[in-house]
């Protein structure tokens, strides 16, 4: 799955190069595919078939909505109602007060 991360970074660098050269449409298409590859990297297994692009974007949003990185320890956790810290950090914080 790291190959998607590498592709995303390459496309981002290419987009930056295109922007410096004023190649606007090439910049935009490279940015689109940089995001697309980043989504593939984050979700892991990609949907296939006709709706591949929409399916990958939906899977990314679904995952991003349900999982967050803890603002204290930076570890992924399931966010229930918009919490920004994991249960462990919450308990540690409340016991310190
Ligand atoms: Zn935490």
Token digits for 34?
A: 């940089």
pLDDT tens per residue, range 57-91: 888 888 877 788 888 888 878 877 778 888 899 99
Taking CB atoms within 8 Å and a gap of at least 24, the contacts of 49-56 are none
* pLDDT (0 to 100) of residue 2: 84
Phi, psi of 77 (to 5 degrees): -150, 160
Report percent pLDDT > 70 for the chain: 95
Q: How far apart are the first and last CA of the chain?
A: 41
**Which is nearest to 18 in space by CA: 27, 9, 10?**
27
CA of 78 to the centre of ligand 1 (A): 11
pLDDT at 11 over 90: yes
Q: What's the gap in Å between 82 CA and the centre of ligand 1?
A: 14
The Å distance, Cα 2 to ligand 1 centre, comes to 25
Higher local confidence (pLDDT), 61 or 19: 19
In this model, does residue 6 exceed pLDDT 90?
Answer: yes
């Amino acid at each position: 799955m790291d190959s998607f991360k590498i592709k995303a970074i390459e496309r981002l660098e290419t987009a930056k190069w295109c922007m410096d050269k004023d190649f606007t449409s090439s910049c935009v298409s490279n940015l689109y595919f940089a995001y697309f590859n980043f989504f593939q990297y984050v979700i892991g297994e990609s949907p296939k078939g006709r709706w591949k692009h929409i399916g990958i974007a939906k899977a990314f949003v679904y995952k991003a909505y349900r999982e967050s990185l803890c603002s204290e320890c930076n570890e992924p956790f399931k966010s229930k109602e918009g919490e920004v810290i994991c249960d462990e950090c919450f308990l540690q914080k409340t016991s310190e007060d």
